[in-house]
Structure 1
């Protein structure tokens, strides 16, 4: 054995240790918003046969955030199929469906998530957006009003309620929400 081989033998990293490191570091990168780095590490540990929901979830998020939306959505769908009761996976997939305008797929997931976590503003607001885009305006307004209860000074929620009312021809009910949205927007720009 020469010196180089001895050095490699002494300082080689066990493959299992490397996999755990890449997994943990990749998930940390995804959670910190460093999606390109997450993709590089998590692709090395993702194994379709030995499915790890956390790896697939964070790799799916990283793919979506780096523009590989179809690949990310596929991983998130597989994650949900593998862990149907995982609220975090359902949340991410539901929000992704809203982002890619697959509202009919988003609504049932976001309803399930809203039931499990009724005080999540983002879920309530995005559920309203999905319902509104499907023409289910009364339900959208209900969801927006719950979001408004969670964050009463969100101009975008008032505006969304107003637009839903407008879509139904209920101009008188829309007007106060348009006014409140404008007031909040003016106050934010001062």
Structure 2
């Protein structure tokens, strides 16, 4: 597990995968190893493998809120299986109420459905719960922009960058699109 995390941090995903699979050879029903493997695959751009790993975690631990949320958010972010995404995330919310990341995920399902008014209060709640997360700030900016709340969108996007968004160029493009 630790070796896999080390390689993950250095973005050596092939070695991280190898280390985690070695762990699974020893302990083939370890949900923590499958979860880390799913995260590695996601970062590596292997969405199908990530989804399969998260499904395995959920099979092994049906009440694993983090895996339920991860899989649900993955579906929502891809814009696919939104009903399944909502079901998974609602179960995660029931297991971990008041979690800002899970709240953000549920809001993101509504956003992807075009239900911006429904997403807004959830994203505002998520920002209150996790004020320093740059992705949640970006999501809030996206909803404000869709609802025509330009000043609030710009403020949220700028805060996202200030909070260390890893894809600053994308957020700056959104800012430029809203400024005359």
Matches within 5 A, 1:40-189: 40-47=18-25, 50-102=28-80, 103-150=82-129, 151=131, 156-165=138-147, 174-175=148-149, 178-183=150-155, 185=157, 188=162
- Paired with 1:90 and 1:72, the residues of 2 have a C-alpha distance of 13
Distance apart, 1:39 and its partner CA? 0.6
CA RMSD of aligned residues (A): 3.2
- Paired with 1:105 and 1:33, the residues of 2 have a C-alpha distance of 33
- Paired with 1:179 and 1:89, the residues of 2 have a C-alpha distance of 35
| Count of residues in Structure 1 that have an aligned counterpart in Structure 2 | 156
Higher gyration radius (CA): 1
Partner of 1:18: none
1:13-67 Cα offsets, whole Å, 9 max, x none, are xxxxxxxxxx44225544x4645131121123335x9422111111121112112
**Structure 1's 38 and 141: CA in aligned 2 closer, same or farther, altered over 3 A?**
same
* Unpaired stretches in structure 1, ≥5 consecutive residues: 1-22, 166-173
Could you tell which deviates more after superposition, 108-117 or 53-62? 108-117
Say if 1:35 and 1:66, in contact at 8 Å, map to a contact too: no
1:95-132 Cα offsets, whole Å, 9 max, x none, are 32233333332222222223333443332223212112
1:115-162 Cα offsets, whole Å, 9 max, x none, are 333443332223212112123334322312312433399753542332
Give the SS at the match of 1:92: helix
Distance apart, 1:83 and its partner CA? 0.7
TM-score, with structure 1 as normaliser: 0.65
